[in-house]
Amino acid sequence: MDDVRLARAYLSRVAEPPAVALGLLVENVGPVQAAELVRSRQAPTPVHDETSARASQDLAAEDLTKAADLGVRLVIPEDPEWPAWPLLSLDNGRRRGLRWAAPPLALWVRGPAQIDDAMRRAVAIVGARAATSYGERTAAEFAFELAGQSVTVVSGAAFGIDGAAHRGALAAEGPTVAVLACGVDVSYPAAHTTLLDRIARDGAVISEYPPGTAPAKYRFLVRNRLIAAMPGGTVVVEAGVRSGARNTASSAAALGKPVLAVPGPVTSEMSRGCHDLIRAGTAGIVTSVPDILEAVGVIGELAAPVTGPTRPTDDLGPQAIRVHDALSRKTPRGPEHLSHASGVPLDRVRSLLPELELTGLARQTDEGWLSMSH
Amino acid sequence: MDDVRLARAYLSRVAEPPAVALGLLVENVGPVQAAELVRSRQAPTPVHDETSARASQDLAAEDLTKAADLGVRLVIPEDPEWPAWPLLSLDNGRRRGLRWAAPPLALWVRGPAQIDDAMRRAVAIVGARAATSYGERTAAEFAFELAGQSVTVVSGAAFGIDGAAHRGALAAEGPTVAVLACGVDVSYPAAHTTLLDRIARDGAVISEYPPGTAPAKYRFLVRNRLIAAMPGGTVVVEAGVRSGARNTASSAAALGKPVLAVPGPVTSEMSRGCHDLIRAGTAGIVTSVPDILEAVGVIGELAAPVTGPTRPTDDLGPQAIRVHDALSRKTPRGPEHLSHASGVPLDRVRSLLPELELTGLARQTDEGWLSMSH
């Protein structure tokens, strides 16, 4: 175990994320010296405030050993696997004064997926815990389709939309990553123990909290910034008026990431947050996976343009349409009748009828002209 | 019967709307002389093309007599009732080169509502004929609520959304106006005969086509420009990928009127047109009547701002929230424990706990501190 990894493991337990001052100290003096300053209580006051409560507790070596036993590794910025590019949006956000956007000091990872690879083509699917069956079905279907196209589905492993998204990706045997607000060895919610195990088997369960950390309310909000920051964009499937999903959406928008929201019935409380996001312009509307791929800019998979069914009369001019409408399928009609019924001058009617015949929309009989369309 | 009314009645039957050239001629030389030029086939070629097919058929006096018998009146621009202001958007559109935006030469009206009054506070509610029950319910509820606030509900009397909108307004005993693509005495669709009668009893059924005119496909598109132009804005409740409602929406947008679309399940084909309109930016999203009133600028009835439920912890700072989250409702805890669990420095914890107690969120016992929130 090298000094750098030990230092980051120590700091990851000592400071409650997002520890802005500590992060800047680490960037300035490096993790080993920063850890030394914290441990010896010689860090500058802002860092001291972030670390004094737990500074004396150095469990780094123990944490790393225990993690290894659990199949958990600590990924640090000094590792090739570190998702530097995906996390750049946090760096930039912090630089613009968003204190909550402080990047993580390290990430605890359970599962074989390489985080940098997994986040190269990734979309967050988030939403309400108290989701409706409509929301869960939509989340699962979007995730299934995305994962089938090798796009990593990132979510928070909560009940409702999160769980449906992970399950959809797993059903497609595609990549999925859960970002937790507790240790990666903590099964929260307990009913998702099996789901978390399945995610960790081929994908990854990740957290900036050391193993054993219990979930806490504010940790969910802090965790949300990682879900918002790492993927190429965020899709909110259902969200109440107040919800964590809206927090993730605002964070993603603040970080400059595309945010999309799924519409639903106006009568559904669970779609209200989505409609609000669309109305406010925070989110674009999304109804299908091609919409998502286009918004997050996944290259080479742009949606085919959606067009309505074509009709044989599509290419007709306005007068020809009027003459055609005046035709009957059963009663043959003469040009004079058609001119009067359509208001199109008689000589125009006489020249339009052969055109309609050429395109198969009319037929001349001995008694007059018939419509040939359905 | 004065000459002007007779001239407009004649022209209204002779030309198939929208007759751009004829409209300009009428504006330039007045309706009486324009009618004379058309009747004598001395009108300029563009006008001749619009009128030659029916120029010889002068039914003006007959039409007006028959109309009077049916309780139908001809409203013309020379009448005080003419909705000049609502129709200004068509004038402007035509000036900008939108040929389809030619204003009507006259309007046949059945029902007691004065058109200019009715359109002063009016909203069009339009949508698919093959609507779902969700769409019909939404249309009816919006119309009921709008009509209850004396906003005229304008629609096209078709099956589906149109009919539901009219019915909703009638249920509120509020104003509603149907704009038809046939004569105002023609019951189309036949199954809506009673509905049309009810609309005409207190509101109005209007058309630019003379009595007896049969509906024709292209007349629906031409009629749609009046539905788009006269009210303050257009609400599309449901629309397939290709539909008349989308045509009305595009017309309204082209005329500079606010357009709103109701979201629905992404699985519903009937909401697809609405989602497309929102995605394209043609329509704003609408989920409630206050949204509509705000968009069309009905003064004095702006929606109360929608806010989520408030929580007692809303005003706490981030450290106070963390300390509060670390409290238990059952197990009393000391400041040292709380400092460690929350990562907040011990002296801050000691100062925050009395604050939490003051706001009723914590309580001190002999054994330590308890959470007081639910």
pLDDT digits (tens, 9 = 90+) for A57-67: 899 999 999 99
Of B242, B264, B343, the CB nearest to A265: B264
| Residue A303 located in a structural domain | no
| Residue B313 located in a structural domain | no
Whether B139 contacts B261, CB under 8 Å: no
| Residue A309 located in a structural domain | no
- Selection from B278, B35, B123 nearest residue A260 by Cα: B278
**B53:A342 CB<8 A:** yes
**B309:A134 CB<8 A:** no
- Selection from A244, A243, A291 nearest residue A263 by Cα: A291
pTM of the model: 0.81
Whether A1 and A47 map to the same domain: the answer is yes
Order of strands, edge to edge, in the sheet holding B72-75? B72-75, B107-110, B204-207, B176-179, B152-155, B122-126, B234-236, B259-261, B284-285
Whether B186 and B259 map to the same domain: the answer is yes
State which residue of chain B sits closest to A266, comparing Cα positions. B287
Q: Which of residues 306-345 of B touch A (CB under 8 A)?
A: 306-309, 318, 321-322, 325-326, 339-340, 342-345
Alpha carbon distance B210, B213 (integer Å): 6
| Residue B49 located in a structural domain | yes
Whether B261 contacts B236, CB under 8 Å: yes
| Residue B301 located in a structural domain | no
pLDDT at res. B257 = 94
How large is the angle between the packed helices A335-342 and A318-326, nearest 10 degrees?
120
pLDDT at res. A164 = 98
| Residue A10 located in a structural domain | yes
Establish if B281 touches chain A: CB-CB under 8 angstroms: no
Show which of A296, A327, A343 is a domain's final residue.
Answer: A296
- Selection from B257, B311, B249 nearest residue B274 by Cα: B249
Beta strands at B72-75 and B107-110: parallel, antiparallel or unpaired: antiparallel
Alpha carbon distance A355, A357 (integer Å): 5
Q: Which of residues 180-239 of B touch A (CB under 8 A)?
A: 216-218
Alpha carbon distance A247, A255 (integer Å): 12
Alpha carbon distance A326, B200 (integer Å): 29
A interface test, pick of B217, B221, B287, B321 with most A CB neighbours within 10 Å: B287
Alpha carbon distance A53, B348 (integer Å): 10
Establish if B152 touches chain A: CB-CB under 8 angstroms: no
State which residue of chain B sits closest to A221, comparing Cα positions. B318
Percent of chain A with pLDDT over 90: 77
Q: Which residues in A lie closer than 8 A to residue B262 (C-beta atoms)?
A: 266
State which residue of chain B sits closest to A308, comparing Cα positions. B241
Question: What is the distance, to the nearest Å, from the Cα of residue B168 to the centroid of all Cα atoms in its chain?
Answer: 14
**B263:A272 CB<8 A:** no
Per-residue pLDDT of B120-173, as tens digits, reads 999 999 999 999 999 999 999 999 999 999 999 999 999 999 999 999 999 999
Whether A192 and A322 map to the same domain: the answer is no
Of B50, B266, B344, the CB nearest to A138: B266
Q: Which CATH number goes with the domain that contains B224?
A: 3.40.50.450
Whether A193 and A78 map to the same domain: the answer is yes
Whether B75 and B47 map to the same domain: the answer is no
Alpha-carbon gap: B334 to the closest alpha carbon of chain A (Å) = 13
Confidence of residue A301 (pLDDT cuts 50, 70, 90): very low
With residue A362 as reference, give the H or E element that holds it: strand A362-365
**Mapping DSSP to helix (H, G, I), strand (E, B) and coil, where does residue A124 land?**
strand
Alpha carbon distance B179, B158 (integer Å): 10
Of B279, B308, B343, the CB nearest to A284: B279
Alpha-carbon gap: B371 to the closest alpha carbon of chain A (Å) = 14
Per-residue pLDDT of A5-59, as tens digits, reads 999 999 999 999 999 999 999 999 999 999 999 999 999 999 999 999 999 989 9
Whether B284 and B336 map to the same domain: the answer is no
| Residue A265 located in a structural domain | yes
Confidence of residue B1 (pLDDT cuts 50, 70, 90): low
- Selection from A312, A320, A342 nearest residue B216 by Cα: A342
pLDDT at res. B345 = 87
pLDDT at res. B320 = 86
pLDDT at res. A243 = 83
Q: Which residues of B151-169 are buried (b: 16+ CB within 10 A; e: fewer)?
A: bbbbbbbbebbbbbbbbbb
Q: Which residues in A lie closer than 8 A to residue B305 (C-beta atoms)?
A: none
Q: Which residue has the tokens 């609405």?
A: B274
Instruction: Indicate if the pLDDT at residue B302 is higher than 60.
Output: no
Q: Which residues in A lie closer than 8 A to residue B285 (C-beta atoms)?
A: 263, 275, 278-279, 285
Kindly compute the dihedral angle of the four CA atoms of residues A83, A89, A94, A96, in this order, to the nearest 10 degrees: 160
Neighbours of A331 (CB within 10 A): 12
Whether B46 and B119 map to the same domain: the answer is no
**Mapping DSSP to helix (H, G, I), strand (E, B) and coil, where does residue B368 land?**
strand
Alpha carbon distance A362, A169 (integer Å): 52
Question: What is the distance, to the nearest Å, from the Cα of residue B9 to the centroid of all Cα atoms in its chain?
Answer: 30
Q: Tokens representing B279?
A: 């995605």
What's the rounded mean pLDDT across residues A264-290? 96
**A275:B266 CB<8 A:** no
**A50:B343 CB<8 A:** yes
Instruction: Indicate if the pLDDT at residue B301 is higher than 80.
Output: no
Confidence of residue B306 (pLDDT cuts 50, 70, 90): very low
Whether B15 and B89 map to the same domain: the answer is no
Q: Tokens representing B202?
A: 């207190």
Alpha-carbon gap: B85 to the closest alpha carbon of chain A (Å) = 28
B interface test, pick of A266, A313, A340 with most B CB neighbours within 10 Å: A266
Neighbours of A307 (CB within 10 A): 8
Partner residues linked to A179 by β-bridges: A206
Alpha-carbon gap: A112 to the closest alpha carbon of chain B (Å) = 31
Whether A15 contacts A8, CB under 8 Å: no
Alpha carbon distance B353, A159 (integer Å): 32
Q: Which range is least confidently modeled, A130-134, B122-126, B288-292, B352-356?
A: B352-356
Q: Which residue has the tokens 């409609």?
A: A275
**A16:B343 CB<8 A:** yes
**A53:B309 CB<8 A:** no
Those residues with Cβ within 8 angstroms of residue A365's Cβ, 6 or more apart along the chain or in another chain: A332
Instruction: Indicate if the pLDDT at residue A306 is higher than 50.
Output: no
In chain A, the number of structural domains is 3
**B16:A342 CB<8 A:** yes
With residue A257 as reference, give the H or E element that holds it: none
**Mapping DSSP to helix (H, G, I), strand (E, B) and coil, where does residue A344 land?**
coil
**Mapping DSSP to helix (H, G, I), strand (E, B) and coil, where does residue A121 land?**
coil
State which residue of chain A sits closest to B57, comparing Cα positions. A340
Mean pLDDT of chain B: 92
Mean pLDDT of chain A: 92
Whether B121 contacts B47, CB under 8 Å: no
**A343:B15 CB<8 A:** yes
Confidence of residue B311 (pLDDT cuts 50, 70, 90): low
Q: Which CATH number goes with the domain that contains B345?
A: 1.10.10.10
Partner residues linked to A110 by β-bridges: A72, A205
Show which of B248, B263, B296 is a domain's final residue.
Answer: B296
**Mapping DSSP to helix (H, G, I), strand (E, B) and coil, where does residue B173 land?**
coil
| Residue A170 located in a structural domain | yes
Whether A142 and A225 map to the same domain: the answer is yes
Confidence of residue A365 (pLDDT cuts 50, 70, 90): confident
Q: Which of residues 236-275 of B touch A (CB under 8 A)?
A: 240-242, 262-267, 271-272, 275
ipTM higher than the 0.85 cut: no
Of A266, A272, A309, the CB nearest to B138: A266
DSSP category for residue B333: B
Confidence of residue B305 (pLDDT cuts 50, 70, 90): very low
Alpha-carbon gap: B175 to the closest alpha carbon of chain A (Å) = 24
Confidence of residue A312 (pLDDT cuts 50, 70, 90): low
Whether A295 contacts A260, CB under 8 Å: yes
- Selection from A172, A170, A171, A169 nearest residue A235 by Cα: A169
State which residue of chain A sits closest to B314, comparing Cα positions. A242
What's the rounded mean pLDDT across residues A112-141? 97
Per-residue pLDDT of A183-240, as tens digits, reads 999 999 999 999 999 999 999 999 999 999 999 989 999 999 999 999 999 999 999 8
- CA A161-A166-A172 angle, to 5 degrees, is 125
Q: Which residues in A lie closer than 8 A to residue B272 (C-beta atoms)?
A: 287
pLDDT at res. B80 = 95
Per-residue pLDDT of A172-184, as tens digits, reads 999 999 999 999 9
What are the angstrom distances between the C-alpha of A160 and each of A128, A192, A277?
A: 6, 11, 19
pLDDT at res. A304 = 42
Q: Which of residues 105-134 of B touch A (CB under 8 A)?
A: 134
**A285:B263 CB<8 A:** yes
Whether A89 and A51 map to the same domain: the answer is no
What's the rounded mean pLDDT across residues A115-129? 96
State which residue of chain B sits closest to A11, comparing Cα positions. B343
Boundaries of domain holding B46: 1-56
Per-residue pLDDT of B172-228, as tens digits, reads 999 999 999 999 999 999 999 999 999 999 999 999 999 999 999 899 999 999 999
**Mapping DSSP to helix (H, G, I), strand (E, B) and coil, where does residue B78 land?**
coil
What are the angstrom distances between the C-alpha of B250 and each of A223, A236, A363, B59, B262?
A: 43, 28, 34, 35, 15
With residue B343 as reference, give the H or E element that holds it: none
Q: Tokens representing A56?
A: 């004396």
Whether B140 and B181 map to the same domain: the answer is yes
Q: Which range is least confidently modeled, A94-98, B210-214, B260-264?
A: A94-98
Confidence of residue B297 (pLDDT cuts 50, 70, 90): confident
Instruction: Indicate if the pLDDT at residue A116 is higher than 60.
Output: yes
- Cβ neighbourhood burial of A372 (10 Å; 0-12, 13-18, 19+): middle
Percent of chain B with pLDDT over 70: 94
Whether A102 and A237 map to the same domain: the answer is yes
Those residues with Cβ within 8 angstroms of residue A322's Cβ, 6 or more apart along the chain or in another chain: A342, A343, A344, B16, B216, B218
What's the rounded mean pLDDT across residues B344-348? 88
B interface test, pick of A287, A333, A336 with most B CB neighbours within 10 Å: A287
